[in-house]
Amino acid sequence: MQSNLTRRRLLTAIGSTATLAGLDLLLPLRARAEDLASKRPLAADRKFRSQAVEDYIKSVQKRIGDPGISWLFGNCFPNTLDTTTEAGTFEGQPDTAVITGDIPAMWLRDSCAQVWPYLQFAKHEESMRRMLEGLVRRQARCILIDPYANAFMADLTATPLQARPEDLADEKQGVGERKWELDSLCFVIRLAYAYWKQTDDTRPFETQWKRAMSLIVKTMREQQRKDGDGPYKYLRTTNISTETVAGQGYGNPVNPVGLIASDFRPSDDACIFLFLVPANLMAVTSLRQLAEMADKILHDSELATDAHSLAQEVSAALEKYGKAPTPQGPIWAYEVDGYGSQLLMDDAGLPSLLSLPYLDCSPDPAVYQRTRAFAWSKRDPYFFQGKAGAAVGGPHIGKNMVWPMAQVSYAITSDSDVEISEMLVMLKSAAMATGFIHESYNKDDSTNFTRPWFAWMNSYFGELVAGLADKKPSLLRHIAV
């Protein structure tokens, strides 16, 4: 990496895509960046305060050469703590709800991802450790209410989100939305495992947590569909096809080959073929993590064996049914049905095919690299490129809307200075007007965006920049975009 990575050198290195990203628009923004005021709430209005995080933000900002990226990092990295974290107690133990942002409910997946960058502080700051312990405990409580729900109310005595009368689903008190998404349970395991590894603390892994983990394995086995469709179905009266499930609420048929069905994607859109490959790949990793925790923490050999054997079964089925042939060689399909039908695309929501190494669920590097090249190309029907940016999107928002989440995934799984710099250009260009990262924006107009307050995306961007400060300090120090 050149130590003087200027705008001109970057344009030369990354060619026309950088121009499409709107680099020429950044010169006046760069000139003003040092004068931009923080977009964070006043200190007294922040939901959760951490001195360790404040010190860390200042430390990282000193290593960022571009003032605009430094400003965005300062706004985004603490956004989850500032605006969405509700730490308290329940029955004398830590209890934490983390809402998603502009929707007043806690998604299991989102809440895990939102706090992920803060795990590094838990071992040395007790308030942070207790907040994270409270989230691990809260998620176990949620799963015991309903393992098929993807979102829960911050107040678990509340009625479902917006009391949706159009949902023909068995929603229980405290549930926000009851969309069965396999990855939701995987993320819960991922956070618990990382909390344990970071802190060596086993306090949250009590009887309630053990019951929740056993229910996770039971639910995943139910959704292998070996004994019929299982107990879950979902129907919604709607004019948006991705908001309801085909087949009278059970989804399109699958062949019970050992994979785990998921009626919905991480985007909350209904699957076409229910064996969602990135979610099944994540399940293999998560089940192995659970097996280790069941063995070493719970001393429950039965649960450990059950989780490990399920992981092995899913892994073998993925090798046989999860790949699709292409002229370049086999790649991971996005969805399959076990009968031979395969959907070739990617979706920005994690777990995505693009994000597999980030989530430690990419068992074959060669297959991943081919899949990555497919996803970031016009061969992927949901890859969009225009004057304002380029990225994988998805049907959740629709055509021509690029997702910063995919841009961060592309950068965070790359070792290429050119690729990473290209994504930083796009991310900065689209975010400078508001100071935060959005869910999506139009490929030709970044002012046409969705979700002004989306804490997960802010955390994910902050995680990318913080990681670059450690792994690629020269790039972050000398880039000028």
What does 359-391 look like in DSSP terms, one character per residue?
TT----HHHHHHHHHHHTSTTSTTEEE-SS-EE
Decide which of 339, 362, 381 is a domain's last residue: 381
DSSP H stretches of helix in 223-351? 277-293, 301-321
Say what the pLDDT of residue 165 is: 58
User: Does 2 score more than 50 pLDDT?
Assistant: no
Q: Is 399 helix (H, G, I), strand (E, B) or coil?
A: coil
**Axis-axis angle for helices 7-14, 417-431 (nearest 10):** 110
The pair of three-digit structure tokens given for residue 26, joined into one six-digit string? 């950044």
85 and 219 housed in the same domain:
no
Q: Is residue 363 located within the same domain as residue 419?
A: no
CA atoms within 13 A on the CB side of 337: 12
Q: Residue 417 carries which side chain, given as an amino acid letter?
A: D
DSSP 155-178: STTSPSGGG-TTB-S-PPTTEEE-
Residue ending a domain, choose from 381, 411, 444: 381
> Which helix or strand (DSSP H or E) is residue 32 part of?
helix 26-32
pLDDT for 160: 75
In whole angstroms, give the CA distance from residue 398 to residue 393: 8
Structural domain ending residue among the three candidates 352, 381, 410: 381
What band does 167 get if pLDDT is binned at 50, 70 and 90?
A: low
Query: In 192-287, where do the E strands start and end?
Result: 275-276
* pLDDT, tens digit (0-9, with 9 covering 90-100), for 38-51: 999 999 999 999 99
Query: In a 3-state reduction of DSSP, which class is residue 145?
Result: helix
Please say if the pLDDT value at position 282 is more than 50: yes
Instruction: Give the residue-averaged pLDDT of 27-46.
Output: 73
Residue 370 has pLDDT above 90, yes or no: yes
Residue type, 122: A
pLDDT tens track for 191-222: 999 999 999 999 999 999 999 999 999 999 99
Which of the four pLDDT bands, split at 50, 70 and 90, describes residue 164? Answer: low
Is a pLDDT exceeding 70 seen at residue 52? yes
Range of the domain at 443: 1-91+386-481
Task: Of 401, 265, 257, give the one whose Cα is nearest residue 322.
Answer: 257
Which pLDDT does position 238 carry in this prediction?
87
Whole-angstrom distance, CA of residue 359 vs CA of residue 132: 19
- For residues 141 and 84, membership in a common domain is answered with no
Looking at the fold, whether 464 and 478 belong to one and the same domain comes out as yes
Shared domain for 109 and 44, answered yes or no, is: no
Instruction: Give pLDDT, residue 409.
Output: 98
Q: 437 near 454, Cβ under 8 Å?
A: yes
pLDDT at site 166 = 63
Q: How confident is the model at residue 94 (pLDDT cuts 50, 70, 90)?
A: very high
Residues 371/334, Cβ–Cβ less than 8 Å: no
CA distance 190 to 38: 32
Mean pLDDT calculated for residue range 364-386: 98
Q: Region 69-90: what's the mean pLDDT?
A: 98
Asked if 38 and 109 sit in the same domain, the reply is: no
Dig out the tokens for 237 from the structure: 């009266």
Alpha-carbon distances, residue 326 vs 278, 374, 379, 452 (angstroms): 18, 9, 11, 38
The pair of three-digit structure tokens given for residue 477, joined into one six-digit string: 């120090």
Domain match, 103 and 11 both: no
Cβ neighbours of residue 370 closer than 8 Å, sequence gap 6 or more: 326, 328, 329, 330, 331
Residue 162 falls in which region: left (phi positive, over 0), alpha (psi -120 to 50) or beta: left
- The domain that contains 242 carries what CATH number? 1.50.10.10
Query: How far apart (Å, rounded) are the C-alpha atoms in residues 314 and 280?
Result: 7
Helix (H, G, I), strand (E, B) or coil at 479: coil
Res. 158: pLDDT tops 50: yes
Confidence label for 479 from pLDDT (cuts 50, 70 and 90): confident
* 71 pLDDT above the threshold of 70: yes
pLDDT above 50 for 14: no
Average pLDDT over residues 419-426: 96
pLDDT band at 170 (very low <50, low <70, confident <90, very high): confident
Question: What are residue 454's DSSP bridge partners?
Answer: 101
Q: How confident is the model at residue 162 (pLDDT cuts 50, 70, 90)?
A: low
Q: Which two tokens stand for residue 389?
A: 């940016």
**Which pLDDT score, from 0 to 100, does residue 250 have?**
96
Do 69 and 166 belong together in one domain?
no
Average pLDDT over residues 307-311: 98
Assign 17 a pLDDT band (cuts: 50, 70, 90).
very low
> Coil, strand or helix: which one is 50?
coil
Q: Which of 153-162, 237-246, 373-382, 464-473 has the lowest mean pLDDT?
A: 153-162
Please tell me the least confidently modeled range out of 136-140, 163-167, 315-319. Answer: 163-167
Q: How far is CA 340 from CA 186, 227, 335, in A?
A: 26, 21, 11
Same domain (yes/no): 123, 103 = yes
Q: In Å, how far are 21, 135, 258, 461, 463 from 51, measured between CA atoms? A: 36, 20, 47, 21, 18
Q: Do 74 and 38 touch, CB atoms closer than 8 A?
A: yes
Residues 412 and 377 in one domain: no
In this structure, the answer to whether residues 127 and 228 fall within a common structural domain is: yes
Q: Mean pLDDT for the chain?
A: 92
User: Among residues of the chain, what percentage have pLDDT more than 70?
Assistant: 90
Residues ≥6 apart with Cβ < 8 Å to 427: 72, 404, 407, 408, 437, 461
Going by their DSSP bridges, the two strands 175-177 and 275-276 should be labelled as unpaired
pLDDT per residue as tens digits for the range 104-157? 999 999 999 999 999 999 999 999 999 999 999 999 999 999 999 999 999 999
Number of domains in the chain: 2
**Amino acid at site 77:** F
pLDDT band at 480 (very low <50, low <70, confident <90, very high): low
**Residue range 15-42: mean pLDDT, rounded:** 53
pLDDT at 478: 86
pLDDT above 90: percentage of residues in the chain: 87
Asked if residue 423 has pLDDT above 60, the reply is yes
pLDDT of residue 481: 60
Cα 271 from Cα 181, distance rounded (Å): 10
Same domain, residue pair 424 and 469? yes
